[in-house]
Structure 1
Amino acid sequence: MRKKILLILALCLCNLMLVQAQNSEPALRIDIPIDSIRLSDPFILADKNSSTYYMTGTGGKLWKSKDLRKWTGPYTVAQPDPKSWMGPNPMIWAAEIHHYNGKYYYFATFTNKAVRVGNNLERRASHILVSDKPDGPYVPMADPIYMPADKLTLDATLWTDTDGKSYMIYCHEWLQNDNGTIEKIELKPDFSGTVGEGKILFLASDSPWSREKEKDGKDRPNKVTDGPWLFRTKTGKLGMLWTSWIYDVYTQGVAYSQSGTLDGPWIQEKEPVNGPNFGHGMLFRTFDGKLLMSIHSHKSINNRTVRIPHLFEVDDSGDKITVGKAFK
């Protein structure tokens, strides 16, 4: 009996240690090259106030760097309300940090796997947290939701249009509508909630370059819209990076607004803006004025797909951007 009790206690102790290990913070890593970091949807904020680059993305962790070459992290910065619709441990996708009017805003996709909507799909939505500092902690604001509870949205970003109003730009999930969209919705002046309803900017099927197969074997545009990012060239042209697939290859394209506003119409470029196997890019300017694209690629390691962040130089001197050599 004594041996049995000791065995049970030992098993309980092992289980407790396993739970603690799963919930513990990952070990801090110092001076890590960017291509040694495993990260989807890498977003980089060049924060002039702290003279520091902050990189985040899917997973909700944060990395810091002074020179874009050596990074320290990962840090946990998001503190969503466990009593909210997100639940106690939401998945975090495609996080972005935007500095606006003295505050730092954390745009991200949160998924609650325990709640189902529509055709038994996990509840997933774009949402915003706020902080006084770039490295958080990021906490909830006034409105408990930004998007309708039954609408699957993802990959939100920020844009202030020519009307002076700020908008959340996001994707409506193709799993729900069978033809992914990129949409806009107006934000309250302090970003604490949204105003009105979303408006479609364009459809996945507008793409001339993406591809997938119909059941009869014919080609059609891919259904996926992913990773919108807006920019203006030095000539004032409004553009948008976004990502889809060419069959099984993740690929990024670009569209340009004919009106110079979010309302478009959006004219899709005929060819992808990057080579194959790169997607979910964004643009930022370094402290010395160089325009870079942060983007990730896919790689199979030991039969497991990992995503690796990369930096590329970008020329925006004309009406259209061109992606150049890798940043080193």
Structure 2
Amino acid sequence: MKRVFLSIVALMCMTMAQAQPRAFKVRSNIPTDSIRLSDPAILADQKTKMYYMTGTGGMMWRSADLKLWEGPFRVTEFDANSWMGAHPMIWAAELHQTGDGYYYYFATFTNQAVKIDTVRGNVIERRASQVLRADNPMGPYRAFGDATYLPANRPTLDGTFWRDTDGKPYMVFCGEWLQNWNGTIEKIELKPDLSGTVGESKLLFRASDSPWSREKDEQGNITWNKVTDGPWVFRTGTGRLGMLWTSWVYDVYTQGVAYSASGTLDGPWIQEPEPITPPTYGHSMLFQRFDGQWMMSVHSHTKDAQGRTVRIPHFFEVDLSGDKLMIDILSPKKKTKKK
């Protein structure tokens, strides 16, 4: 009996250990190209004069110069009784400030223990964008408002923040292509303190509106790609409203841009005919360095010699002074501008 009891205790300890988040060793002076991170998003915090980098995986990196980084830090805490569970998967985390003294953590959370649908043989897990909050950039970020921000029967992802011309805050997010088979980008109004959402979402555009994405359908015909990914809203120096977003050209991760004809989130959104960044770059956001220079944070999406996907953060200088976003792409041989 004693052996049985000890075996049970040992099994329980192993199970508990497996349920706990893996510990990470914090390292210093790590160059950007040595970091493996999808969907890198930067907060340039004027209060601390530090750059904070989040992304997929839910970890945080910080830097004084965008060149050498310290991290990774775990900065989130979850209630096991929430729809997300104690240890959700975290995708595309972003940090935002609204001027109220708080730091807001927009991210996609997936509870793999909960299945909400099956479409064309794909079992779809409970996944949604939601907002956490902290009183300093290093967290801990915790849920603080409504139990849910978006419908439980829909997988949604890549929520980002925008305050439109009506003065109201909004979440702009993607509807998962695995369920609707034609990914969407939508908006939903947020409460003034970002503690929840108001009303229902509104469609802004669909994956099929893209003039540049490509894939082959089940019959082998070339058509638009079904994926919508990583929206980021911005204004140019002339006041034109634009949106970066990502899809695929066959098996190449690719990013495009659209501009709103009305100057508001309601659009209509006119898609630029060509991608905005070179092939294999996507899911970007924009921020200003402390010297005022606009930057794009983006990740490259390539395969290594063993066929494993490698995602590395990159920073490009951006010119927003005109009517269109212009990106300075630096290479050893030349410097070109992409618009």
What TM-score range do you get, normalising by the shorter chain?
over 0.9
Report Cα offsets for 1:65-109 as digits up to 9, x if no partner: 000000000001111221101112100000000011221100000
Report Cα offsets for 1:194-245 as digits up to 9, x if no partner: 0000000001000000001122221111110000000001111100000000
Is the aligned partner of 1:307 residue 2:311? yes
Corresponding residue number in structure 2 for 1:25: 23
**Distance change (3 Å), C-alpha of 1:17 and 1:177:** closer
Corresponding residue number in structure 1 for 2:191: 188
TM-score, normalised with respect to structure 1: 0.94
Range that drifts further, 20-29 or 262-271: 20-29
**Distance change (3 Å), C-alpha of 1:18 and 1:125:** closer
- Structure 2, unmatched stretches of 5+, are 333-339
In 2, distance between residues paired with 1:31 and 1:20?
A: 30
Q: CA deviation at 1:300?
A: 2.3
In 2, distance between residues paired with 1:49 and 1:327?
A: 33
Corresponding residue number in structure 1 for 2:293: 290
In 2, distance between residues paired with 1:230 and 1:319?
A: 15
Aligned equivalent of 2:32, options 34, 52, 67: 34
Report Cα offsets for 1:41-88 as digits up to 9, x if no partner: 000000001100000000000000000000000001111221101112
SS in 2 for 1:118: strand
Corresponding residue number in structure 1 for 2:75: 77
- 1:144-293 equivalence runs, <5 A: 144-293=147-296
In 2, distance between residues paired with 1:260 and 1:17?
A: 53
In 2, distance between residues paired with 1:217 and 1:23?
A: 43
Count of residue pairs the alignment pairs up: 323
- Amino acid in structure 2 at the alignment position of 1:321: L
In 2, distance between residues paired with 1:80 and 1:150?
A: 21
SS in 1 for 2:142: coil
Q: CA deviation at 1:326?
A: 4.0
Which runs of 4 or more aligned residues in structure 1 lie more than 4 Å from their structure 2 counterparts after TM superposition? 15-18
- Structure 1, unmatched stretches of 5+, are none
SS in 2 for 1:143: coil
Is the aligned partner of 1:105 residue 2:104? yes
In 1, distance between residues paired with 2:15 and 2:162?
A: 45
Report Cα offsets for 1:139-170 as digits up to 9, x if no partner: 11120000010011000000000000000000
Q: Is the 8 Å Cα contact of residues 227 and 280 (structure 1) preserved in structure 2?
A: yes
TM-score, normalised with respect to structure 2: 0.91
**Distance change (3 Å), C-alpha of 1:143 and 1:327:** farther
Identity of aligned residues (%): 62
